[in-house]
Chains A and B, each alone.
Chain A
């Protein structure tokens, strides 16, 4: 039994910029700084939730972490070994770290029966065909799709919820240790979503998994996560224990995001929007703190100086929490 505090995966200085326009000579003239220097760890056995709005880099972070996209910079260490290094070749890392996407249909080969789709991965990794099919059928049963009825079906013959169960089984067929769920329940109806979330909670326990759970739905993230990371325009704004982040958010953006959730109380409806305007484009993001253009507490220094993520277990990247940053609300320079 490993201690829950040891990291399963840790990411340092992760960055990826995409050129969106090039000049005649092919030199980039506009760059999306999708992920721009992100550090975090995921501890063994925990669920790390990642929240943020479109364009904040949460999905890109997940893809970079799994090396589905090659990072421009950054180091990824999985259970003590450098990913892609001698001790952990990429192929073996990919077996141990799997992902389930939002689009349940696009993730499955339309020409393969779901049983064949699930059995395909383990076969690539050397499991004999007969055993792979056995594993596929056992997993189908485990995710609630009776093999006798479902094994021979094709993806288009299933509902969205059933297909997402297949994708979960497909990921588990590799016997992974880390499962990234990238908006995996976002396309499902609420009554089906609850069923799949329950299944995920059970599977985590049963297979001793570690989850990275990405969603724009804060309620779902709160339900699933031990710790939560809030991203804004390619940077980490705040990271900490889920209860602490939801109860006492430290970053002004995290607070505004939480207050933007519908109230669910007819006698206490939201009367004022917590922030105005749309998130700025990640192409040429604002200098300094990227949130300063929408932040009600911003001061001139916020446009000049980029905050650094600090603050230990409940970390925040905001000049108000940086001693001597020059922001009037900042704690005074350390004595």
Chain B
């Protein structure tokens, strides 16, 4: 059984004048010990999907439909204390900005110890001991001293490590990562990515890693799910997605990324136009207006999911045309 199972997830934000359909029918399963990268640009719905798994989207201003099961629990049915227990103990989240997760007025040790005591009971001393163990595990230098530090006293990379320690404090089964390395410098980003990869293996975590950077996805993920305008448009093993991308959007993203082979002064193959307004989506495939493979049918018919290779699914009516990516 999958550790995470999303079926027909829809998230609509209803706070504004027009409803915004941020997530439109997402199906996603993640196994224990597996890392899936949710890859997409701003507004693609990747973070909203992630937040839905912890029910973090504002309840009064959003409508959530579909089924969300995490570690066998029906997340949509959780209320009150059960939801609190679920967050952090079964599934926990790390963010791009550690200040979202860390309280500025408590020391890091106190925050981790409090979390452990709250979720698992036991003494404060035991919680503090766990915090120390975790700080060692995420390789924070001088861990005893750093437990007494406040978040602002740490560098960006160290704060990110501390947040990872906090997220793992109650030994969750599922780790949700929302662009955790985007704000970090290159030399620090690779350290944190390698640490996450190592922890994920060691704890057997099911991980969903939201990112806009294909390079980061390749470093951490077993599978990649590409999102566009609230939908997963292509999903498959990392090798498949990188070597045989079949959705025109994925192909465009890979080509727009400058690789080592990119000649200076040459033109980049940019995807024309901009993503659609999620409160006024066009009929048919949402990518059609920007797609160089599009035909009239694409603006009429909604593409269904189709398997083009084992585990490699694409939502595109023109997937036959994308088979030879050079075309």
**Residues of chain A whose beta carbon lies under 8 Å from any beta carbon of chain B:** 53-54, 159, 161, 189-195, 197-198, 201, 216, 218-220, 222-226, 242, 256-257, 260-267, 269-279, 281
Contact = CB atoms under 8 A, between A and B. Distances in A.
Given A53-B187, A257-B186, A266-B239, A195 B194 contact: no
A269 B217 CA distance: 11
B214 A256 contact: no
A278 B268 contact: no
Interface stretch (B13-21, B170-178, B258-266): B258-266
A198 B267 contact: yes
Contacts of B256: 190-191, 193-194
B213 interface: yes
A53 B188 CA distance: 10
A205 to B, nearest CB: 9
B190 A194 contact: no
Given A194-B256, A194-B271, A218-B186, A264 B262 contact: no
30 contacts: A53-B188, A54-B156, A159-B274, A189-B275, A190-B256, A191-B256, A191-B271, A193-B256, A194-B256, A194-B268, A197-B270, A201-B265, A216-B185, A223-B264, A226-B264, A256-B187, A257-B187, A260-B190, A261-B215, A262-B218, A263-B215, A266-B242, A269-B218, A270-B219, A273-B194, A275-B187, A278-B155, A278-B157, A278-B185, A279-B187
Contacts of B272: 195
A159 B43 CA distance: 12
A191 B252 CA distance: 8
Contacts of B90: none
Given A193-B256, A272-B194, A53 B185 contact: yes
A222 B265 CA distance: 10
Contacts of B163: none
Contacts of B268: 194, 197-198, 223
A45 to B, nearest CB: 12
B253 A190 contact: yes
Nearest to A202: B267
B131 interface: no
B187 A260 contact: yes
Nearest to A189: B41
Contacts of A161: 274
B270 A191 contact: yes
Contacts of A54: 156, 185
A281 B156 CA distance: 11
B325 to A, nearest CB: 16
B215 A273 contact: no
Contact of B218 (A194, A260, A264, A271): A264
Contacts of A278: 155-158, 185, 188
A269 B180 CA distance: 19
Contacts of A53: 185-188
Interface of B: 41-42, 141, 155-158, 185-191, 193-194, 212-216, 218-219, 238-239, 242, 252-253, 256-259, 262, 264-265, 267-272, 274-275
Contacts of A225: 264
A222 B257 CA distance: 12
A192 B141 CA distance: 40
Contacts of B270: 191, 194-195, 197-198
B155 A262 contact: no
Given A192-B274, A271-B194, 13 more contacts: A53-B188, A194-B268, A219-B257, A219-B259, A219-B262, A222-B264, A257-B187, A261-B190, A266-B218, A266-B242, A270-B219, A272-B194, A274-B190
A262 B271 contact: no
A260 B158 contact: no
Contact of B215 (A189, A201, A264): A264
A261 B214 CA distance: 12
Contacts of B191: 273, 276
B267 A261 contact: no
A274 B41 CA distance: 28
**Top 4 closest pairs, chain A to chain B, by CB:** A262-B215, A194-B270, A53-B185, A194-B256
A177 to B, nearest CB: 20
A272 B155 CA distance: 21
Contact of B242 (A194, A198, A264): A264
A189 B42 contact: yes
A191 B229 CA distance: 14
Given A190-B256, A264-B242, A273 B190 contact: yes
Contacts of B258: 219-220, 222-223
A107 B299 CA distance: 37
Given A189-B212, A218-B186, A264-B259, A269 B41 contact: no
Contacts of B158: 278
Nearest to A204: B265
A189 B262 CA distance: 19
A261 B264 contact: no
Contacts of B215: 261-264
Contacts of B156: 54, 278
A53 B256 CA distance: 24
Contacts of B193: 262, 270
